[in-house]
């Protein structure tokens, strides 16, 4: 049983995060990892050495079987705290960066997605339809305000997305219908569309919605071996747009990708693109 150790650096950590224009999610994730490191060693995070941090990262990988992204996030939190809170320089090579496998995401047919969405309760359907219909991350969908939905132009304004970048993306008729029904049924008390029940000024946390979506997928498609999450819907949005002939640059803008290289992964996922290609061996025989 770990000993609860007070984390005394909330204000300093939040200030340094805000000064760099990083998101509130970054603050929460860094804080969470730093608290866990502190509790594991039963001492203030300020007293945790680099070698101890390395031991903790090794535990995440070997004992807890955490993925490379979780391990790298924990590493980043510790390095950020050392350098920006304690003013101690730790060479990045002292805590090696874990290699992230370059795996292609699983994709669902649009009909299967609609089947899942139609079986969900209205609130879940409204949020997740925006992930598929507009290509939003679930955090972006949950952070939407009433004024971010432009039903006349059929656009969604995404404020402060990943990298603190704002953008417009398309609004589907399906999502608009869900949002209107949701609005009439729930009438959120504040400007946010999906507020916390006990704190209307903050959006709902995504964890429960993620679990409901995963459980519904497994119930509807029990024999599938695909790893499906709400973020899958964002991948499907891009892939299905590419299938329908939308150019990569437009998809890049709608998704809010900084680099076209990130968007180009969807070329490998689209059936339409591959169906038009002819192998050079077949061309040679023609």
Enumerate the active-site residues: 137, 162, 231, 234, 257, 266
Q: How many Cα atoms within 13 Å fall on the side-chain side of residue 90?
A: 23
Residue 201's φ and ψ, nearest 5 degrees, are: -80, -10
Nearest by Cα to 121 from 39, 233, 238, 212: 212
Return d(Cα 193, Cα 234) in angstroms, integer: 20
Q: How many Cα atoms within 13 Å fall on the side-chain side of residue 181?
A: 13
Q: Show the DSSP H helices in 20-133 as ranges.
A: 24-41, 50-62, 68-84, 110-118, 122-133
Write the DSSP symbol of residue 150: E
Nearest by Cα to 131 from 165, 173, 175, 161: 175
How far does CA 8 lie from the centroid of its chain? 28
């Amino acid at each position: 049983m770990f000993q609860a150790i007070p984390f005394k650096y909330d204000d300093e950590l939040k200030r340094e995060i805000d000064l760099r224009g990083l998101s509130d999610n970054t603050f929460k994730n860094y804080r969470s990892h730093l608290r866990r490191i502190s509790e594991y060693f039963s001492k203030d995070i300020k007293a945790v050495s680099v070698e101890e941090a390395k031991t903790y990262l090794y535990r995440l990988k070997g004992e807890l079987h955490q993925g490379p992204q979780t391990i790298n996030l924990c590493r980043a939190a510790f390095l950020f705290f050392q350098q920006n809170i304690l003013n101690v320089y730790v060479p990045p090579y002292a805590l090696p960066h874990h290699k992230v496998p370059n795996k292609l995401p699983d994709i669902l047919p649009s009909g299967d997605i609609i089947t899942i969405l139609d079986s969900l309760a209205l609130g879940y359907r409204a949020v997740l339809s925006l992930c598929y219909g507009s290509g939003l991350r679930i955090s972006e969908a949950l952070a939407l305000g009433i004024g971010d939905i432009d039903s006349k132009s059929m656009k969604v304004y995404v404020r402060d997305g990943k990298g603190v970048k704002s953008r417009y993306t398309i609004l589907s008729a399906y999502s608009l219908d869900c949002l209107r029904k949701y609005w009439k049924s729930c009438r959120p008390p504040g400007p946010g569309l999906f507020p916390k029940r006990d704190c209307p000024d903050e959006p709902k946390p995504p964890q429960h919605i993620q679990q409901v979506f995963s459980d519904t997928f497994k119930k509807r498609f029990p024999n599938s071996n695909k790893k499906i999450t709400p973020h899958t819907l964002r991948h499907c949005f891009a892939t299905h747009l590419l299938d329908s002939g939308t150019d990569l640059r437009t998809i890049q803008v709608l998704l809010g990708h900084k680099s076209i290289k990130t968007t180009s992964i969807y070329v490998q996922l689209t059936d339409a693109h591959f169906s038009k290609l002819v192998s050079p061996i077949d061309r040679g025989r023609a």
